[in-house]
Amino acid sequence: MTDFSTRVEQLSISGIREVFEAASEDAINLGIGQPDFPTPEHARDGAVEAIRAGKADAYTSNKGTLSLREAIAQKHQHDQGIDLSPESVIATAGGSEALHIVMEAHVGAGDEVLIPDPGFVSYSALTKLAGADPVPVPLRDDLTLDPAAVEAAITPDTKAFVVNSPGNPTGAVSPPDDIREFARIADEHDVLCISDEVYEYTVFDGEFRSPAEFVDTDNVVVVNSASKLYSMTGWRLGWVHASHRRIERMLRVHQYVQACASAPAQYAAEAALRGPQDIVTEMTDTFRRRRDLLLDGLDEMGIRCPTPQGAFYAMPEVPEGFVDACLNRDVIVVPGQAFGDGGHGHARISYATDEEQLAEALEIMDDALATVWLTE
């Protein structure tokens, strides 16, 4: 009987998915990272019009349609002042594929990739799939990534490090001075900074900045996606932008694993980028209200939680047994250790659900917490 690759044997099912599988269908889901808003109508119309016109029937360019890549380049030029050519962009099957081709093109056996701990589950898994070794970098008490800790962790084997701001699972936003430091580290140590910016529009406090604004070399690669920006998770449309030489290497991987991103999704994302941006403000304002509702509820329970400055996640400190007690009462939260050893003693709570369900979940969590404390 044939065996399996060493790389895939290193992986396990995501801790997030394990919680979902154990929950009932009627559970209140505070575990999923998905906005509960509809995709903007003008984005849907963009896909429908392309389908009716026959423009979505065939492969696009490997990189994606020129018009979409122009819209992406214009977005980054407008938002970050980056002089970006459409030729320096690849449209991908969501941010997940973007991360995958970044890793495959840049790291391999014997290389190290520094990742936030706790950090998004894909960072470690995709590093291992590329044959490299993930090296966790513990976060500060406020759950931001410390540039000094990143710099101290660099060894001769370090090939790249990951920055994620606003962050998943933490909701933390790195201050501009830290982002500037990450760019300096990439330049001075000649290591690649992989900047995951999929939550860039969801910032409540502080300011979003990209390392690509400050770097002097081409040692920054940016991953982004329409999924969280425009509530388009099911469309699976993301992108990566970088220097021409880096894009050319990533394209070698992309052409074989994907050929091109879904054509209808490309037209939808272009329409979202070029159309009204009201959805961005609406979602951010709504998530801010939900964040405050959640924090107030956690505070009343006596649960400590650093204030999330962006995204739609909170990562409170919780006692052992809390996650299971919630799950037994049909409220899904994700154990912090699913995101790395630094997540032990925490849970990730997503507030990408309506306020009525969130308030109900808080009442249930209060009951779950009381039960856990009684058994300690």
- SS3 letters across 235-283: HCCEEEECCHHHHHHHHHHHHHHCCCCCHHHHHHHHHHHHCCCHHHHHH
Q: What per-residue confidence (pLDDT) applies to 22?
A: 59
Q: How many CA atoms lie within 13 A of 237 on its CB side?
A: 27
CB 95 within 8 A of CB 240: no
Q: What dihedral angle (degrees, nearest 10) is formed by the CA atoms of 230, 355, 310, 15? A: -90
Place of tokens 């900074």: 193
Read off the pLDDT band of 23 (50, 70, 90): low
Please name each of the domains of the chain with its CATH number. 6-38+278-375 (3.90.1150.10), 41-274 (3.40.640.10)
Q: Which two tokens stand for residue 111?
A: 């290389």
pLDDT of res. 9: 83
Mean predicted confidence (pLDDT) in 355-370: 96
The predicted structure's pLDDT at residue 73? 98
Average pLDDT score over residue span 266-280: 97
What pLDDT, on the 0 to 100 scale, is given for residue 24? 60
Give me the DSSP letters along 286-323. Answer: HHHHHHHHHHHHHHHHT---PPP-BTTEE--B--TTHH
Question: Would you say residue 186 has pLDDT above 60?
Answer: yes
Contact 48, 40 (CB under 8 A): no
Structure tokens at 285: 């304002």
Looking at residue 347, its pLDDT comes to: 97
Better pLDDT: 16 or 300 = 300
**How much of the chain, in percent, has pLDDT values that exceed 70?**
96
Among residues 332, 371, 364, 335, the alpha carbon closest in space to that of 351 is found at 332
pLDDT at position 372: 84
Which is higher by pLDDT, 216 or 6?
A: 216
Range 77-97 burial, b when 16+ CB lie within 10 A, else e: eeebebebebebbbbbbbbbb
Mean pLDDT of 290-296: 98
**What tens digit of pLDDT does each residue of 310-336 get?**
999 999 999 999 999 999 999 999 999
* pLDDT at 242 exceeding the cut of 60: yes
Dist. CA 275–CA 71, nearest whole Å: 10
User: Is the pLDDT score of 337 beyond 80?
Assistant: yes
Query: Residue 32 above 90 pLDDT?
Result: no
Average pLDDT, whole number, for the chain? 95
